[in-house]
């Protein structure tokens, strides 16, 4: 009988960067001939393929045993059949008789990691995995030890890069919502308009792409009203992998404003916890400008493989300088591609996953 691994993520249908990260972990086990079960009441296989370009040799969606009406005994008994069990916490923790248990931590929010006496019992056989050093440090300050596992970037981002032809596009990728760590779309639109009016971005377009859920449609409608009929402002909700890939290939610059105006010490959950989208952009030669808070500082080295900024003036000044310096643009593009290839390829990720899972 084949070995089995299971996953539960209460945010699975968001299909954002965190979901890609945790799915990629179980993908490694799938490639090691494990059967993978995901506890979710609808089959998202097609959506996962379209959004993330992820496929699994053996993947099944099982009834969600983490609903409140499911008894602890039923849940615990079912988990006992698994070699590995992974879950993302929304503040809830579970008893599990799986042989190996892991909690994947993608949001450094204190409210998610309250270790009461009961929660300590529930996690006594658990290994915590953090998505960045930024997240790990915050968990450590709350008394939780974890191991850092960075994501990987799909190999297609490293192929045929010599044929890339850039256009006058500034791209930003992030879910359309007004929740925890907002992407600050309205601020981006405002900054872009100012730069166009100043003459600095003549001929450029700003493309905002990302997932959109039904409950966030009001937020999206407000963005549409801000954009109005401006042909240089383009909103792309729920783009599939192929379209997103082509946007990265076409865009000359990438903007990332998550955490803008936030105190990262007091509210770390509202910053960027790592930044998969900026990494994908860097892999395809987009020169990235990211607000300098949170985990983003682990991947963007200011002036070397991209740029960090902390206010409007700094962004405008750095944009102005790079637009006028072709040599520096080419240097940044070369270094950003090399950085992502060397540190975020699948081989690096796979090796680290096996190290954590098989030797913990």
For residue 194, pLDDT over 80 is answered with yes
Report the C-alpha gap between 299 and 290 in whole angstroms: 10
pTM of the model: 0.91
For the chain, domains (ranges, CATH) are 4-152+346-358 (3.40.50.2000), 155-343 (3.40.50.2000)
Strand partners, 237: 210
Lowest pLDDT segment from 21-30, 141-150, 156-165, 170-179: 156-165
* pLDDT recorded at residue 181: 64
- Which tokens hold the place of 196? 């166009």
* pLDDT, tens only, 100-150: 999 999 999 999 999 999 999 999 999 999 999 999 999 999 999 999 999
CA 88 to centroid of chain Cα atoms? 14
Give whole-number Cα distances, 282 to 225, 253, 288, in Å: 31, 9, 7
What's the pLDDT at 179? 67
* pLDDT higher than threshold 80 for residue 360: no
pLDDT of the residue at 260:
93
Q: Which two tokens stand for residue 119?
A: 């929660």
Q: Which residue has the tokens 């493989």?
A: 305
Query: How far is 116 from 202, CA to CA, in rounded Å?
Result: 56
- The span from the CA of 317 to the CA of 191, in Å, is 12
* Per-residue model confidence (pLDDT) at position 40: 97
């Amino acid at each position: 009988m084949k070995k089995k691994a299971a996953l539960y993520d209460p945010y699975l249908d968001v299909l954002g960067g965190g979901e890609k990260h945790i799915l990629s972990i179980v993908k490694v086990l799938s490639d090691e001939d494990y059967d993978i079960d995901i506890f979710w009441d609808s089959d998202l296989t097609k959506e996962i393929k379209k959004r993330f370009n992820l496929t699994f040799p053996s993947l099944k969606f099982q009834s969600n045993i983490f609903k409140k009406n499911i008894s602890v005994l039923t849940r615990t008994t079912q988990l006992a059949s698994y070699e590995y069990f992974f879950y993302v916490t929304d503040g809830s923790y579970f008893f599990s008789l799986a042989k190996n248990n892991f909690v994947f931590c993608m949001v450094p929010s204190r409210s998610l990691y309250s270790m009461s006496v009961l929660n300590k019992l529930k996690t006594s056989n658990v290994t915590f995995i953090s998505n960045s050093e930024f997240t790990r440090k915050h968990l450590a300050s709350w008394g939780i030890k974890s191991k850092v596992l960075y994501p990987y970037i799909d190999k297609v981002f490293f192929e045929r890069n010599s044929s890339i032809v850039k256009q006058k596009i500034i791209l930003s990728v992030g879910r359309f919502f007004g929740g925890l760590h907002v992407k600050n779309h309205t601020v981006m639109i405002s900054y872009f308009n100012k730069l166009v009016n100043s003459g600095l971005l003549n001929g450029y377009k700003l493309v905002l792409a990302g997932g959109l859920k039904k409950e966030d449609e009001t937020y999206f409608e407000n963005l549409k009203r801000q954009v109005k009929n401006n042909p240089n402002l383009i909103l792309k909700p729920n783009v599939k992998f192929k379209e997103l890939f082509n946007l990265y290939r076409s865009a000359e610059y990438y903007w990332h404003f998550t955490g803008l105006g936030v105190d990262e010490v007091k509210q770390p959950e509202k910053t960027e916890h790592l930044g998969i989208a900026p990494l994908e952009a860097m892999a395809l030669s987009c020169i990235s400008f990211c607000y300098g808070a949170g985990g983003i500082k682990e991947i963007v080295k200011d002036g070397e493989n991209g740029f960090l900024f902390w206010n409007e003036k700094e962004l405008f000044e750095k944009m102005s300088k790079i637009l006028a310096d072709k040599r520096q643009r080419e240097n940044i593009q070369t270094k950003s591609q090399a950085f992502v290839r060397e540190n975020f390829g699948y081989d690096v990720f796979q090796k680290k996953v096996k190290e954590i899972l098989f030797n913990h």
